[in-house]
Structure 1
Amino acid sequence: MIRSLYTRVVLIFLVSVIGGTVLSFFVATWLYRDKLNENLQIPMLRFGKDIVRIYDTFPDSEADDFVRGMNQLQSYYIRIYEAAGQYQSYSEPPGAQLETITAEQVNQVLAGAVVQGNKSGLSTTLLGLPLTTDNGTKAMFIEPIGPPSSAFVLEWITNFSVYSLLTGSIVILVAAMFVVRPIKKLTTATRRIAAGDFNVKLNIKQQGELGTLARSFEEMMIDLQQLEQLRRDFVSNVSHEVQSPLTSISGYALALKQMNLPDSERSRYLDIIIAEADRMSKLSDSLLKLSLLESQTQQLQLSTLSLDEQVRRVIVALQPQWSARSIRFDLQLKTVRLTADHDLLNQVWTNLLGNSIKFSADGGRISVSMKQELKQVAIRISDDGIGISPEDQKRIFERFFKADRSHNRKVGGSGMGLAIVKQIVLLHHGDVRVESEPGRGSTFTVTLPLTAPDG
């Protein structure tokens, strides 16, 4: 089995060209054989008729002398047979392989017939004509001394084909190098990427299929680079998020070993350890939930629910958080029923409303509204909190990303909530987007189909 693409390209070209040339040669010969034979026998037939006319016009001796002096004898060999079988030749070439003339052919010509011999099967190589002389009718046979014109044409075509094949082969050998070169570049780039090196420049500017393949490869390389960066960021973020509570737990556990520690301090340390352990538990739960959502192994448990009622219940469940800070809610909820996963959708409103409460100032206001269209519903959750910068809005739905890290240290959170919201909405074939301006609050808009597909 030939593994080299270069060798395969060259062999395919050679087989195709040689096969096509041979086939075309035989087809053309078969199609034009009769016409070529007809055109090539005309000069010999005319020459024979001229000799017949000479013998009709002049006495035999003068006609013999005239014929022997003709320049055409350099191209044709003449034999004149008598009825007894003897013949007289004119300009017999030395060492020439002449046609064998049978007694039957001689008798046919003496009887007045025109005989044509065809040794090559393509052109006339022997012509027999009746010749009237003073001594009665004789049989004249004319034969070309040199190769027939048709044979010369065939030889020329054959040589031309061979030279064309040789020239074409050399050209394809060079051209195939340029065809295979991008493939070799892609192979080298693939090996470097497999080794972890994403700084690969292909510099392939060809058009067509190879150019499309090269550009697709570059796009894939960029995606892999981003994926690798996300993986590194994920590992770094997980390590950071886990390291912080572990450090606190370890530190306060060591402090508890002090014998003379007051009961109040001991109780405070234990509360901190419990809180940090709970933080790690929530982080682990969020990672597991997000992993299930992204892998799409999470099956939607669809049911028909009242969306406005679900949002109201979530707001009531979060009352301890917003009532303690005197935050007000402005609700514009119409009765909307849709088919969705109740528990997952409940997580969406809990995360979005929880964030709005976290980042709103004391005494702030949060607006929740719904707008139903023909086949979908849009839910808007707006607050007048700290807002999000344009740069952070591009990454707000990434896992572990925290838009305002200085503020997040105060309010807590692992940066997983909006990533989970994004995946749940995508599972429902919906969309979520954010509009925000620093210092003027944020608006999250969730668009959901009224009938979610089975997931």
Structure 2
Amino acid sequence: MGAWLPVGGTHMKRFFHTIYGRFLIIFIGLLFIPMMISFTLLFTIQLDRIREDVELQLNDQGEILQTLVTSGSFTAEEAVDLVIGDILVSRSYDSIADWRNAGEADYTDKQIGQLEAGQVITGTLTDFRELPYAAFELSGEIYMISPNLNNNQITQFRDTTIYSFLAVALIGSLLILFAISFLTRRLKQISKASRQVYEGNYAVKIQDNGNDEIGDLARQFNQMAEELETNEYLNKELSAVMAHEFKTPVSSMIGFAALLQKEVVPDEKRIEYAAVIEREAKRLAQLSSTLLKLSKFDHKLIHLTKESYLLDEQIRECILMLQPHWETKELELEINLPECTWTGDRELMSQVWINLLKNAVQHSPQYEKLSVKMDISDGEIRVEVSDTGEGIDPQHLERIFERFYQADRTRNASGTGLGLSLVKKIVELHGGQVTVQSSPGNGSTFIIILPDTLIKPESNE
């Protein structure tokens, strides 16, 4: 027996820590306690009023009986049979002493004196019914009348009140238990799905079409699971691509370093091999630096340092920085940059323009045209960087901003596939958006739209 108590106590404690148990406690508090208070007040106050009314009626009945007998028209027995009917019960005693010795009623010495004086007295029966009574003298005998046990206002009121209370309690209990069961069943679905997500099953879905808070929670959970599933896929793909991207320059550096160790390598070859190692090392450093920045963006470790500056001048400076590249291809530049004072992170936005311009120069054929345009209208800034290169196939457009994604790896062996991802992150961090318009053979146009909320100068954050 002693071994069962702790187990039962533990289960009971665990039960009351569940939502089901807590709802039961709340149900008892919100339903039964107010009902008990209401029942007590109603029963006490209303029952006293009914008892007073019944006592007055009994007193009137007693006075009527005394009047009928005193008038000589009826004997005591005839008068009682005429007045009492089915709703009252009468008993007779030979004397006041016999009535007192019967012990059926509560009374006081004052009431005994009134009874001896021929008056009608009222009080309460001593049995469990506690019904009122009226006692009076008729033809030398003491008569006591009281309500019929099964047919009186007091009993009917008491039974109606108790049955109503029990009915409300029963119906309320069934409804609240149904509601709790329905609620906890939905919560258990979310809990079970959460456990599956914890175990790595991100494809789990909760079927809940409710329009309440739990329905919203279920829908948000499904969105979260979808995001986790997407992130899991992207992380696996990212890990595989990163392994490949880091492996290529490292393998190249190892191979050329091994060639440099050979004594028979001519000097010009040594310089060439060293240049290759340097180029691959720079590419590896750039790859690591860009990945670090993207990681900081993902974890929100980079905050905007806003300042007011000329956006058009910044883009022109970036174009001049890349002058050796576009002069080598002898590109024709078409620049249309109206004066624009803007507030944003100067350093981060500089990386946006350099990446887009470098990408445009790289994909532009020899002697072709490169266009950079800015337009300010409808409270927003629109910057377009266009080239006349080979364009992008429609199948690649949706993935062009993914990390390490390169539509043509043979033409972009020197790239990292991270530039456009970095551009997208920086622009979105400023509340803007970046899109691309392209088709094979017609070049590409990258469009940056910055929101109007950042056009006016703001204080640094």
TM over 0.5: yes
- Equivalent residue for 2:342? 338
In structure 1, list runs of 5 or more residues that go unmatched: none
- Equivalent residue for 2:6? none
Kindly indicate whether the alpha-carbon contact (under 8 Å) linking 2:297 and 2:425 is maintained by their aligned counterparts in 1: yes
- Select which of 121, 132, 146 maps to 1:125: 132
> Which letter maps to 1:431?
Q
Structure 1 position 226, deviation (Å): 1.7
Structure 1 position 279, deviation (Å): 0.9
Structure 1 position 57, deviation (Å): 4.0
Q: Does 1:63 align with 2:65?
A: no
- Equivalent residue for 1:422? 424
Kindly indicate whether the alpha-carbon contact (under 8 Å) linking 2:99 and 2:142 is maintained by their aligned counterparts in 1: no
- Equivalent residue for 1:383? 387
- Equivalent residue for 2:406? 402
Structure 1 position 263, deviation (Å): 3.9
More off after superposition, 121-130 vs 347-356: 121-130
- Equivalent residue for 1:17? 31
Structure 1 position 228, deviation (Å): 2.0
CA distance in 2 between partners of 1:304 and 1:167 (Å): 69
- Equivalent residue for 2:145? 142
Kindly indicate whether the alpha-carbon contact (under 8 Å) linking 2:331 and 2:366 is maintained by their aligned counterparts in 1: yes
More off after superposition, 140-149 vs 327-336: 140-149
> Which letter maps to 2:114?
Q
1:209-220 equivalences in 2 (<5 Å): 209-220=213-224
Residues 96-119 of structure 1: CA distance to partner in whole angstroms, max 9, x if unpaired? 962134442133255575533246
> Which letter maps to 1:413?
G
Structure 1 position 407, deviation (Å): 3.5
Residues 46-72 of structure 1: CA distance to partner in whole angstroms, max 9, x if unpaired? 643552343134367x33355368874
In structure 2, do the counterparts of structure 1 residues 31 and 434 end up closer, same or farther at CA, with 3 Å as the change threshold? farther
CA distance in 1 between partners of 2:109 and 2:317 (Å): 122
SS in structure 2 at match of 1:105 = helix
SS in structure 2 at match of 1:408 = coil
Q: Does 1:104 align with 2:117?
A: no
- Equivalent residue for 1:319? 323
SS in structure 1 at match of 2:206 = coil
In structure 2, do the counterparts of structure 1 residues 267 and 125 end up closer, same or farther at CA, with 3 Å as the change threshold? same
Kindly indicate whether the alpha-carbon contact (under 8 Å) linking 1:383 and 1:441 is maintained by their aligned counterparts in 2: yes
Kindly indicate whether the alpha-carbon contact (under 8 Å) linking 1:129 and 1:139 is maintained by their aligned counterparts in 2: yes
Structure 1 position 258, deviation (Å): 3.9
Structure 1 position 387, deviation (Å): 2.6
Identical counterparts, % of pairs: 30
CA distance in 2 between partners of 1:43 and 1:390 (Å): 98
Structure 1 position 351, deviation (Å): 0.7
In structure 2, do the counterparts of structure 1 residues 247 and 66 end up closer, same or farther at CA, with 3 Å as the change threshold? same
More off after superposition, 257-266 vs 4-13: 257-266
In structure 2, do the counterparts of structure 1 residues 113 and 326 end up closer, same or farther at CA, with 3 Å as the change threshold? farther
Structure 1 position 218, deviation (Å): 0.7
In structure 2, do the counterparts of structure 1 residues 40 and 436 end up closer, same or farther at CA, with 3 Å as the change threshold? farther
> Which letter maps to 2:290?
S
> Which letter maps to 1:77?
S
Kindly indicate whether the alpha-carbon contact (under 8 Å) linking 1:33 and 1:122 is maintained by their aligned counterparts in 2: no
- Tell me the C-alpha RMSD between the 2 structures: 3.5
Q: Does 1:358 align with 2:372?
A: no
Structure 1 position 80, deviation (Å): 6.5
CA distance in 2 between partners of 1:374 and 1:43 (Å): 89
- Equivalent residue for 2:208? 204
Residues 209-229 of structure 1: CA distance to partner in whole angstroms, max 9, x if unpaired? 221211111111111212222
Q: TM-score, normalised by structure 1?
A: 0.83
> Which letter maps to 1:107?
G
Residues 379-427 of structure 1: CA distance to partner in whole angstroms, max 9, x if unpaired? 2222222333444333333322223334333xx3111112222222234
CA distance in 2 between partners of 1:408 and 1:251 (Å): 21
SS in structure 2 at match of 1:32 = helix
SS in structure 1 at match of 2:228 = helix
More off after superposition, 445-454 vs 211-220: 445-454
Structure 1 position 12, deviation (Å): 2.4
Residues 273-293 of structure 1: CA distance to partner in whole angstroms, max 9, x if unpaired? 222111101111111232334
CA distance in 1 between partners of 2:179 and 2:297 (Å): 51
CA distance in 2 between partners of 1:354 and 1:269 (Å): 26
More off after superposition, 120-129 vs 140-149: 120-129
> Which letter maps to 2:331?
I
CA distance in 2 between partners of 1:453 and 1:438 (Å): 44
SS in structure 1 at match of 2:412 = helix
In structure 2, do the counterparts of structure 1 residues 119 and 452 end up closer, same or farther at CA, with 3 Å as the change threshold? farther
SS in structure 2 at match of 1:407 = coil
SS in structure 1 at match of 2:204 = coil
Kindly indicate whether the alpha-carbon contact (under 8 Å) linking 1:116 and 1:126 is maintained by their aligned counterparts in 2: yes
More off after superposition, 275-284 vs 156-165: 156-165
SS in structure 1 at match of 2:209 = coil
In structure 2, do the counterparts of structure 1 residues 109 and 393 end up closer, same or farther at CA, with 3 Å as the change threshold? farther
- Equivalent residue for 1:48? 62
> Which letter maps to 2:90?
Y
In structure 2, list runs of 5 or more residues that go unmatched: 1-12
Q: How many residues align?
A: 441
CA distance in 2 between partners of 1:453 and 1:390 (Å): 42
CA distance in 1 between partners of 2:83 and 2:53 (Å): 23
Q: TM-score, normalised by structure 2?
A: 0.82
- Equivalent residue for 2:272? 268
In structure 2, do the counterparts of structure 1 residues 429 and 53 end up closer, same or farther at CA, with 3 Å as the change threshold? same
> Which letter maps to 2:449?
T
